[in-house]
């Protein structure tokens, strides 16, 4: 598996969580799903910033894409923190989740239609496999840190 496949897999998982949140009826279920979403998005963003983005800076074709992607990560992280301090019963909660969903969808769309194809054009299969290994190792390490912190 290469890094692009791993990233897309994370994207599908997050989309599924958003979908489940839209169907959730009670606050307890909503909170549980948000906690999962929070962990997934935080983990994914950190791992991309530690592995994919530094590699992208090495190529002319992808170098300039990193800044915008990092700005979008910052926006999502700020929304996540804002939502984390709310209760699912708060009237603003669902509106903020929707705002987060739109921000994440925009980022995913851009990443999958522009960034990842450029990464694929810039790096050979071996580099993408090595990056996938780094991505998985960083994710595994951070997962332990995040679960220990919560």
What is the spatial distance between Cα 79 and Cα 45, in angstroms, rounded to a whole number? Answer: 13
Residue 150 banded pLDDT, cuts 50, 70, 90 = low
Kindly tell me if the per-residue pLDDT of 40 is higher than 70. Answer: yes
Kindly tell me if the per-residue pLDDT of 30 is higher than 80. Answer: yes
State the chain's mean pLDDT as an integer. 93
Kindly tell me if the per-residue pLDDT of 130 is higher than 70. Answer: yes
Percent of the chain with pLDDT over 70: 97
Joined together, the tokens standing for residue 89 give 């019963």
- pTM confidence score: 0.93
Quote the pLDDT of residue 29. Answer: 95
Q: Mean per-residue pLDDT for 25-44?
A: 94
Helix (H, G, I), strand (E, B) or coil at 58: coil
Kindly tell me if the per-residue pLDDT of 149 is higher than 70. Answer: no
Residues 83, 96: contact at Cβ < 8 Å?
Answer: yes
């Amino acid at each position: 598996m290469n890094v692009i496949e791993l990233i897309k897999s994370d994207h599908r998982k997050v989309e599924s969580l958003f979908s489940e949140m839209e169907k959730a009826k009670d606050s307890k279920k909503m909170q549980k799903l948000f906690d999962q979403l929070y962990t997934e998005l935080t983990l994914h963003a950190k791992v991309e910033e530690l592995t994919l983005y530094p590699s992208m800076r090495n190529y002319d074709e992808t170098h300039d894409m990193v800044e915008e992607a990092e700005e979008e990560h910052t926006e999502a992280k700020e929304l996540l923190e804002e939502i984390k301090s709310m209760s699912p019963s708060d009237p603003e909660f669902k509106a903020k989740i929707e705002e987060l969903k739109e921000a994440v969808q925009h980022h995913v769309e851009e990443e999958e239609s522009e960034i990842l194809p450029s990464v694929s054009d810039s790096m050979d299969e071996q580099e993408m496999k090595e990056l996938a290994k780094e991505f998985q190792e960083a994710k595994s390490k951070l997962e332990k840190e995040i679960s220990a912190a919560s």
